[in-house]
Structure 1
Amino acid sequence: MKKIILTTVLISLLAVAAKAQYVGVKGGLNLSNLNIDGVDDENMRFGYHFGAFINLPISDGFAIQPEVLYSTKGNKAHYNQDFGIFGEFNTDAKFKLDYIDIPLLAVFRVGDAFEIHAGPYIGFLTSAKVEFDGDVDDEFDFDSDNFKNLDFGLVGGVALNFSALQVGARYNYGLQKIQDSSTADLILGDAKNSYFQVFAALRLGNYD
């Protein structure tokens, strides 16, 4: 089902590309966190994103911009807790979650070079890996089955245009709890994705 949805979205984007003011490719840095309740310490995951987008003008100062991005999320957390029947954790855990994200952005152009981007996103989990270092049984299994396949949230940011080159920054705030099992509930609580992005993009077409 996930592949069918992604294929449908890609075909739809290609269908409207001919009407676009410009298309582009982009990539950059992700600084992500999960905001897990009750852990002793959390550190961001340094990752990346890359993909493509289409800019569809509505007026001189406003456009709609759908994007398709491969994006890494997660964090590193230190646990020193008693989880009852699951035992006591005194361990570090690295959560490595990878998604296909599809933002649908409203783009407000201010002046010749400055843009404000805002809108929702939907994400599809492509892989999940959790690495434990500490008091955890070697047979403890914590993989993608413990995470929801669907993520969604809000995006806000700014961009600066220098002819065909665009640079910018965004904050992505997840609204969906990512855990999908009783074990994940114990370890992650009400964790949601949140991540800051810095990017560079190359625009092709009528971007003036």
Structure 2
Amino acid sequence: MKKLLTIALLCLTVLSLKAQVKYGLKAGVNFANATFKNAGLSTSPSSLTTFHVTGFADIPIDGMFSFQPGITYLGKGYKYDITINDSPEKGETSLSYLEVPLNGIAYFPTRSGRLFIGAGPYMGIGISGTLEQGNTEKDLKFGTGTDDDVSPIDLGLNFMLGYHLNGGLLFNGGYGFGFTNAIPKDKRADDIKINHKQFFLSLGYSF
């Protein structure tokens, strides 16, 4: 984790010295969910509506391409409604992460601005979480041990499509999914995985 952050900061510093960097802020809504895999079977619970806030730098590389690192605070999680032994159970897992996306962006000029598409890896660090089930609420612990509830690191990829107006206003939508098993390392069983995923919509401004 420290190596990834160090490399990202070095790249950002070198590229910033050679290019006209723009900075921006954006925020929006997340439709968070997760994929559960067990013995080859895959299913998803229902979505949980959360939010995100991102600060980013846009560093031109060559012509139409830019490197866009950032820092994001966002919510992840899911809702579930299942029946166990003829007894219905409803619950909600709500998680907060600090995430570092490292996106490559391609811009396509138009008369009023620029259409853009982007993709790249991200690294998320768990901050806090709660589980609501019936009338009870439990604080979730991030860690790798048997007494922990959620793995502390979420690595994945995100994709986005948007439009950047000439005045600086921008909006985009996208999709992100995690590769990392959200079950703590010491609690994992064979063929059981939980992977985060989310659709997101953002509105922002760069200057």
TM-score band w.r.t. shorter chain: 0.7 to 0.9
Q: Distance in 2 between matches of 1:171 and 1:37?
A: 20
Number of residue pairs the alignment of both structures matches: 192
**CA RMSD, aligned part only?**
3.4
Which structure is higher in helix share? 1
1:54-133 to 2 correspondences below 5 Å: 54-81=57-84, 90-112=88-110, 113-133=114-134
- Deviation readout 1:37-79 (Å, 9 max, x if unpaired): 5799822110100020001111110011001000100010123
Find the aligned partners of 1:7 and 1:37 in 2 and give their Cα distance: 30
> Identical aligned pairs, as a percentage?
22
Aligned residue in 1 for 2:26: 26
Q: 1:176 to 1:12 in 2, by over 3 A?
A: same
Counterparts in 2 of 1:40 and 1:7: CA distance versus 1, 3 Å: closer
Query: Any gaps of 5 or more consecutive residues in structure 1?
Result: 83-87
Distance 1:127 1:185 in 2: 24
Question: Could you tell me how far 1:201 is from its partner in structure 2?
Answer: 1.4
Cα 1:40–1:120, aligned 2, differ >3 Å: closer, same or farther?
Answer: closer
Partner of 2:145: none
Q: Does structure 2 retain, via aligned residues, the 8 Å contact 1:130–1:143?
A: no
Pick which of 57-66 and 140-149 moved more. Answer: 140-149
Check if 1:179 corresponds to 2:183: yes
What TM-score comes out, normalization by structure 1 length? 0.78
Structure 2 unaligned regions, length at least 5: 143-147
* Counterpart secondary structure, 1:194: strand
Equivalent residue of 2:90, what SS?
strand
* Native 8 Å contact 1:40 1:78 kept in 2: no
Q: Deviations over 1:58-109 (max 9, x none)?
A: 1110011001000100010123236xxxxx9742120101101111011011
Corresponding residue of 1:151: 154
